[in-house]
Every structure is written in C-alpha cells, then in structure tokens.
Amino acid sequence: MDLDTIRRTPGEFCVVEYHVRDFEGRFSPEDYGDPLSERLTTLRQEFHLDSVVADYDSEWEQLLALKRWVRGRWDHGWGKRWGEVKDALDILRLAADGEPFTCGFYGQVFAECCTALGLPARRIGIGLRDSGFPRDYTFWNVGHALPEAWSNDFGKWVVLDPDLNCHYEWEGEPLSALEIHEAWMSGVADEVDVVQEEPHFVLPRGETIQNLRDFTGDQTWTEERIGRNLTRFGRHQAMDYYARLSINGWTWLDQRCPPSFIAHFQPTAAQRLSSHQADLYPTVNLIRPTMRPSWDDHGARLEVAFEHCMPFFSHVEYRLDGGPWQRTEAGFTWPMLEGLNVLEAHGVNVCNRVGPPIRVVVAYASPQWTW
C-alpha cells in the first residue's frame, strides 16, 4: 500500500451522541429589537434594571422579579397622556409622575425591559370566543394584551402577565398562551394553577374613571360599573380570554373556535390564520453545528461552523473534551483523537447571556492496515 493511498483513506467518524435541539419556525432578529440601542440602553440605566434582577440566580426567577417590578410601577387605569408615548422609557417616565396605563402598556414595558437585559420577549393579544358583539361585562373588554418571554430554563415561550401579576402552571411548569388556550378549550382549565404574586391588581378609582369617560364618550362609566366588569374579567382567572390568540402577526386557527372577522362591532385587521404551532412559536436562543470531515498526514479533523436562532447573538463558546472554554464567531477546526471526542457549546448574546448547551460526541478510529 503506497503512502498516497493511505493519505486518501479516511478513518472512521461515528457520531455516538448528538444532543442538539432542532430549530422550529422562522427566526428573524428584527422581531426582537436591539438591547444596545440608545433608547434601551437609557432604559436599562435610568431605571436600574440590572438591580431589579441582580439578587436572582436563575433566569426564570429574574423574569418573575421583572414582572413584579413592572406591575409595581403604576396601577391599572386610564390616563390622559397615553397618546404621547412611543416606548417603555416614555411610559415609565410618565408612570413615575403618576400617569396610569392599561394592559397593553404593561406588556410593552415588560417586553422592552426584557430586551434591554438581553432576554427575548414579545407582546401578544388574546380574546374571548364571543368577542364580535359583546354585551354585559364584556362590553369594551373583549381582549387583553400581555407578554410572553422565552425561558431557557424551560426551553419554551411562557406567559408572564404584569398587569394581573400572575403566570400559569401545569404540574409545576409555566405555560405558554397556546397551552393555556388548549387547557381552556379542552375543559381542563381547573387543573391549571394560577400563580398570583404581589402587588395585586387594583381596581381603578377616582380621576382615571373620568379619563375613561372622556376617551370612550360614554358617561355611564362609574367605579361600580368598572369594578363589576373587571371582577367578572377575572372570574375564570382570565383563562377564557385565551380562546383567541394573536402572536407575531398570526391568528391561531382552532376549529373549536372558528375565526371571527368582527371584534367589538368593528372589522378586524387582516388576519393570517395558522394551525401550525411553529408559526406562532419559533424556537430561539439555540445553536446547531455543521461539521465537515477532512484528513491528511497530520491527522483527521472536523471543520465546525454554527447556525443560530438567537436574538442579540454575539458569539459561540465551545470546549473540547472538558477543556477550557474558547470563543468563536465563525467556527473552528476540531482535531480528532483516537476514541471519543466531546464537543460542548452554547450561544452568547451581546448582553453576555448564555443560551442552552449542546453536546456532540464523535468516536474516531484511524485507518488500520495489515501489511
């Protein structure tokens, strides 16, 4: 056997472990904002967001702390200056001066505070099944706006409602809006645990009621009527409002709750309907490797590159065979040793937050010749 033939002969590469989660749905960085933008940097600094989460080790505990903090900035109500705001920084500044806001503004502030801290989050809309021609307590109250955040700890999107200051769990695991929807539509909502935290929701009173009268042109709004409506809003822990979901420009299509093109006596905006979960729930914060083998006189190797679906992506950290962590933006050469070769890696975003780990184990054996 001549040397050139040996050089052209590969050894054996065998993947024996591959712990890499599949990407699901469409990932677009533009959907998540930029933590390093001027406005979000000011938000993070002016309102000391790092201090809000500093005492909590896990990301999940940090998300809960941020939810409680946002709830505590103001009480639900109708102000006079809501038309002046464009982002969380404006809202929080006005709230510090006593201006109240409603559910959508809680969702906006929470989501943008998450972004400022490098935590992917988004605003979603939910609504009652019978929302086209409301009456009684549903009049002016057919929908709700709130955020979902991506949890690395649970590997999924989860609801965190800062207006009601609650989240929902099933057997100890927090739920997404779609999972709450499924529980409600399947008649098992009573098996969902609603985790309520302080400060609690406070019924609007005083001047904010007059602001609502001015906004709607309806002078029949009173504290009693508001109290009655909002108390009924919570009679099912708001889970009946998860009958309809609007997320990332998609409306969830469920044959048990057919789409409606009327909401509160008005035509809805154009709807994209989908029953494909990945349209509404893309995975984020993940990485996955691509690997190409090569070999020569100096040995065998895998050329490794990475794809990601990580908002605010900066780089990948990796280590080989339990060695020191190394950084790469593009990829690296993985030299093969005889036996088992172990790659561990994770993505890192611009706020230095780490994504879920991957682990790949490749068994390698060099060519064996009998002369």
Evaluate whether 155 touches 281 at the Cβ level (below 8 Å): no
User: Tokens at residue 280, please?
Assistant: 């509404």
**In 223-276, where do the E strands start and end?**
244-247, 250-252, 262-263, 266-267, 272-274
Task: Provide the pLDDT for residue 8.
Answer: 60
pTM reported for the whole predicted model: 0.94
pLDDT (tens place) for every residue of the chain, 371 residues total? 455 655 566 789 999 999 999 999 999 887 899 999 999 999 999 999 999 999 999 999 999 999 999 999 999 999 999 899 999 999 999 999 999 999 999 999 999 999 999 999 999 999 998 877 777 666 678 889 999 999 999 999 999 999 999 999 999 999 999 999 999 999 999 999 999 999 999 999 999 999 999 988 989 899 998 888 888 888 899 999 999 999 989 999 999 998 888 887 888 888 899 999 999 999 999 999 999 999 887 889 999 999 999 999 999 999 999 999 999 998 999 999 999 999 999 999 999 999 999 999 999 998 875 55
Task: Provide the pLDDT for residue 259.
Answer: 87
Amino acid at 360: V
**What pairs with residue 257 in β-bridges?**
254
Q: Which ranges of 167-222 does DSSP label H, i.e. alpha helix?
A: 177-185, 207-216
Task: Provide the pLDDT for residue 269.
Answer: 85
**Exposure of 233 in the CB half-sphere (CA atoms within 13 A):** 21
Domain ranges of the chain: 3-21+286-365, 29-280
Fold annotation for 3-21+286-365 = Immunoglobulin-like (2.60.40)
Neighbouring C-beta atoms of residue 309, cutoff 10 Å: 22
CA–CA separation, 146 and 10 (whole Å):
56
Task: Provide the pLDDT for residue 70.
Answer: 98
CA–CA separation, 100 and 91 (whole Å):
9
- Residue whose entry in the numeric block shows the structure tokens 């780089």: 315
